[in-house]
Chain A
């Protein structure tokens, strides 16, 4: 089974600064999807950004961007101009293209604190 590793249980960033959250994964597949989800204190899980493995261009969504390194199996999330509302738990997730069940594999999460 695929595994997703988030090695930073907690991170903090000063408001308006930039922070990078790390995610690595283990797979033998060549095509798959990667996701970053945000879980604020409200508990609602929200999709932040999505990346397809065969696309070399890194996905971006406003202040959120990823650094996708396929050979290294790394998928980090960069948050620019951090805002207080970015404080949340962030989960990295993997979804297989080949697996007919299309199960999601989640990392253990990184808790991000934004310091005013």
Chain B
């Protein structure tokens, strides 16, 4: 398996622009997680899905952030409009929903908003 795939790997955009980050989880995994990592806040859980259904989005910082999972093999995290403070590395991770399942992380998307 190719592992969790994220695109793009790097994104540089100007403040006010819409940004869409993409994730393809490992086939067969039914839980998907979006994280944001910064030096200041560390690793923050933004939202996670079980069987394509959002379970907890309390970590989404503002209404500017939205996430979707239209099917078991694809998820998006959208920021509209983007702001410089959104600059971070965004990780997608997937796992089997049982508690023993480890999370497999994607390589991350480094977002820079100027």
**Chain A residues in the interface with B (C-beta under 8 A):** 32-33, 35, 37, 42-47, 50, 52, 91, 93, 95-97, 99-104, 106, 108-109
Contact = CB atoms under 8 A, between A and B. Distances in A.
21 contacts: A32-B99, A42-B107, A43-B108, A45-B91, A45-B93, A45-B105, A47-B103, A91-B43, A97-B99, A99-B99, A101-B50, A102-B50, A102-B99, A102-B101, A103-B45, A103-B48, A103-B56, A104-B103, A106-B42, A106-B45, A109-B42
Contacts, number: 57
B33 interface: yes
Interface of B: 31, 33, 42-43, 45, 48, 50, 55-56, 89, 91, 93, 95, 97-105, 107-108
Given A96-B99, A106-B43, A101 B105 contact: no
Nearest to B107: A44
B93 A102 contact: no
Contacts of B55: 101, 103
Given A102-B97, A103-B45, 19 more contacts: A32-B99, A37-B103, A43-B89, A44-B108, A45-B103, A45-B105, A46-B105, A47-B104, A91-B43, A96-B99, A97-B99, A101-B56, A102-B31, A102-B50, A102-B98, A102-B99, A102-B101, A104-B33, A109-B43
B94 to A, nearest CB: 12
Contacts of A104: 33, 45, 103
B102 A47 contact: yes
A44 B89 CA distance: 11
B42 A108 contact: yes
A97 B100 CA distance: 8
Contacts of A43: 89, 107-108
Nearest to B101: A102
Contacts of B56: 101, 103
